[in-house]
Amino acid sequence: MVTGLEVKSLSVLSGRGEPLLDRVSFNLAQGERIGLIGASGSGKSLTAGALCGLLRPPLSARAMALRFYGNDMQALTPRAWRALRGTTIFQIFQSPGTALNPARKVGAQLVEAAVTARGCPVRDVADALKRVALDPEVARKFPYQISGGMKQRVLIAMALLLRPRLLIADEPTTGLDVLTEHEVLETLATMLDATGAALLFISHDLRAVRRVATRTLVMEAGQIVEDTAISALSTSRHSGARALANAVETLEGRC
Amino acid sequence: MLNLTKLSKSFRGTKVLDNIDFSIGAGEVVGLIGRSGAGKSTLARIVVGLETPETGSIRLDTQEITPGKGDARRRIQYLWQDPIQTLSPYLSAAGAVLETLHGFDIGRPQTRRARAQDLLASLGIVAQIAARKPHELSGGQCQRVALARALAAEPDVLILDEPLSALDVTSQLGVIDLLRRVHAKRSLSMLIVSHDIAPLRLLASRIAVLDGGQIVEDLPLPRFFATARHPLSRAYISTMKVQSDAA
């Protein structure tokens, strides 16, 4: 199994030197889909920020190793980070509106992404929209004219065009109704099948995580307290992880 | 207990509720499910007088009422979606419940403080936590305080608008357990508005589906899962199936 992402003893410190992330370690294999779950404030989004080189002072990150397909991510210059983000590591956020330019139509933004990053033919934009179950007419709309679930699918269409090797999805379905969440997760799986990208799916909702991932990391107070297959979560030695699995089992009838 | 007849409401020319007939029996727990923007919250808000319908009437028992007015204001209580914003930032948990007891003149004045403490304690809010203000409480604790405040009015009908959607799964289960205990003890009629069918499976005795301004399915819980035919009902049932199980 090829290791795509290697994270060894990653810590993030506040301006006062307090550890907000405390020696987080995990590996993500090529094409693997894992969930990162935990309560608000447990450090999930900080992990994503550190992995994308998005942390800014006073926060600081350090790690014994942070490698992506063998390349040392800690040695990257800001320019090299910009080249990596989007095309190689693609991130989807909870608020998709913040990732889209409000003053440009959806189609123009997809074309720009496709042409500048990979030189994809423009006709691929309509195809990408179809593959995420969006009407190609959406290309003619501004972001404010489409719903939150549609915006998330536009970003997934962008990922289809850019074909990243790793997709980091940070609470991408929080705030969506359960049917829209279902549709977004289905299109996400379609995109992953098509591109072979690995997935780090960050969420406080185990119900959403287990729809797209097979393995999960559980975070608590800046540390990873469990790393296991989702099917084994109910027998975890960690009481918080077991409680999560049992809650989902009670809500949905099984886990 | 509660009967809605030929209820209609439009927003900017779009009919959100279209001539709806809907009822909730005494002691019945009804789940109302639908997509975002389907009109679920509008229906709930009409029942408590926060929205005015264009047509239709509402009866409590056999009497026609003006929602939010007279005794209907006490008998029908509403639990908001966001448990933190629903509480006054200036009042402690105990103060919020006391305000309701004072407002509806329930119990003797000298016993109200103890009554508020007892009610909060029965919902898992001990005296030490009851002295805190909303910003010092978790989302789950705020939801319990809001529930205590609603129950302090000794209502006959409780309307809950997405009571679980702001909570994580473990807190959701805690509130579900609480609502089941409250229902068993008080035999309240409840209308639970939700975009998610999973909690309704544990709470409701009947599920109604709202779509395109109409109630498109309305069945007792076991029959809903076994025989619901509307595509939207089937879509909700399918969300209970986990794709990774099949993978």
Alpha helices in chain B (DSSP H): 40-47, 72-75, 93-103, 112-122, 127-130, 139-152, 169-186, 197-203, 221-227, 231-238, 243-246
Helix (H) or strand (E) holding A19: strand A19-29
Residues 162 to 221 of A: which have CB under 8 A from any B CB?
A: 176-180, 182, 186, 189, 204-207, 210-214
Out of B169, B201, B247, closest to residue A207 by CB: B169
More confident residue, A227 or B36: A227
* Beta carbons of A144 and A177 less than 8 angstroms apart: no
Token couple for B80: 């908001």
* Beta carbons of A110 and A125 less than 8 angstroms apart: yes
Per-residue pLDDT, B233: 95
- A245 to chain B, any CB pair closer than 8 A? The answer is no
Residue pointed to by tokens 């549609």:
A150
- pTM for this predicted structure: 0.79
Domain A3-76+87-254: which topology? Rossmann fold (3.40.50)
Name the CA radius of gyration of chain B, rounded. 18
Cβ separation B244–A39 shorter than 8 A: no
- Measured CA to CA, the distance from residue A244 to residue B172 in angstroms comes to 11
- Residue length of chain B: 247
Cis status of the peptide bond prior to B155, with omega within 30 of 0: no
Residue pointed to by tokens 């800001």:
A78
**Minimal Cα–Cα distance from B241 to chain A, Å?**
8
Nearest CA to A184 among B36, B172, B81, B32? B36
- Measured CA to CA, the distance from residue B80 to residue A144 in angstroms comes to 27
- Measured CA to CA, the distance from residue A89 to residue A78 in angstroms comes to 14
Q: How confident is the model over B154-212, as pLDDT tens digits?
A: 999 999 998 887 777 887 888 898 899 989 988 899 999 998 899 999 999 999 999 98
- A248 to chain B, any CB pair closer than 8 A? The answer is yes
- Measured CA to CA, the distance from residue A224 to residue B96 in angstroms comes to 39
Q: In Å, how far are A25, A28, A29, A166, B5 from A4, measured between CA atoms?
A: 14, 6, 5, 8, 61
Query: Residue A230 phi/psi, 5° resolution?
Result: -60, -35
Q: How far is CA B101 from the centre of its chain?
A: 20
- A80 to chain B, any CB pair closer than 8 A? The answer is no
The ranges assigned to domains in chain A are: 3-76+87-254
* Beta carbons of A241 and A226 less than 8 angstroms apart: yes
- Measured CA to CA, the distance from residue A179 to residue B160 in angstroms comes to 20
**Residue B241, pLDDT above cutoff 70:** no
- A242 to chain B, any CB pair closer than 8 A? The answer is no
Query: Residue A225 phi/psi, 5° resolution?
Result: -100, -10
Out of B236, B243, B244, closest to residue A179 by CB: B236
Helix (H) or strand (E) holding B76: strand B76-79
Contacts of residue A128, defined as CB under 8 A and 6 or more positions apart, other chains included, come to A110, A114, A157, A158, A160, A161
Question: For the residues B128-149, what does the mean pLDDT come to?
Answer: 88
Token couple for B6: 């030929």
More confident residue, B144 or A40: B144
Q: Which residues on neighbouring strands pair with residue B30, listed in sequence order?
A: B191, B206
Eight-class DSSP state of A85: B
Q: What is the number of other CB atoms lying within 10 angstroms of the CB of residue A254? A: 12
Task: State which residue of chain A sits closest to B37, comparing Cα positions.
Answer: A177
Per-residue pLDDT, B246: 36
Residue pairs spanning A and B at CB distance below 8 A: 65
Nearest CA to A23 among A69, A65, A53? A65
- Measured CA to CA, the distance from residue A21 to residue A42 in angstroms comes to 8
Question: For the residues B119-144, what does the mean pLDDT come to?
Answer: 88
List the pLDDT tens digit at each of the 255 positions of chain A: 788 899 999 999 988 888 899 999 999 999 999 999 987 778 888 899 899 888 888 888 999 999 999 899 998 888 888 888 878 899 888 778 788 898 999 999 998 887 876 666 556 788 888 888 888 889 999 998 888 888 888 988 888 888 899 999 988 887 778 888 888 898 889 889 988 999 999 988 888 898 899 999 999 989 999 999 999 998 999 988 888 888 888 887 754
**Minimal Cα–Cα distance from B238 to chain A, Å?**
9
Residue type at B154 in one-letter notation? E
Residue type at B9 in one-letter notation? K
Out of A180, A211, A248, closest to residue B244 by CB: A211
Residue type at B122 in one-letter notation? S
- Residue length of chain A: 255
Cβ separation B196–A178 shorter than 8 A: yes
Contacts 24+ apart (CB under 8 A), B220-223: none
Out of A179, A204, A247, closest to residue B239 by CB: A179
Task: State which residue of chain B sits closest to A204, comparing Cα positions.
Answer: B168
Best to test chain A binding among B167, B169, B194 (most A CBs inside 10 Å): B169
Percent of chain B scored above 70 by pLDDT? Answer: 97
* Beta carbons of A211 and B244 less than 8 angstroms apart: yes
Cβ separation A252–B197 shorter than 8 A: no
Token couple for B19: 């001539």
Residues 89 to 148 of A: which have CB under 8 A from any B CB?
A: 147
Cβ separation B170–A214 shorter than 8 A: no
**Minimal Cα–Cα distance from B134 to chain A, Å?**
17
- A3 to chain B, any CB pair closer than 8 A? The answer is no
Cβ separation B195–A252 shorter than 8 A: no
- Measured CA to CA, the distance from residue B59 to residue B4 in angstroms comes to 7
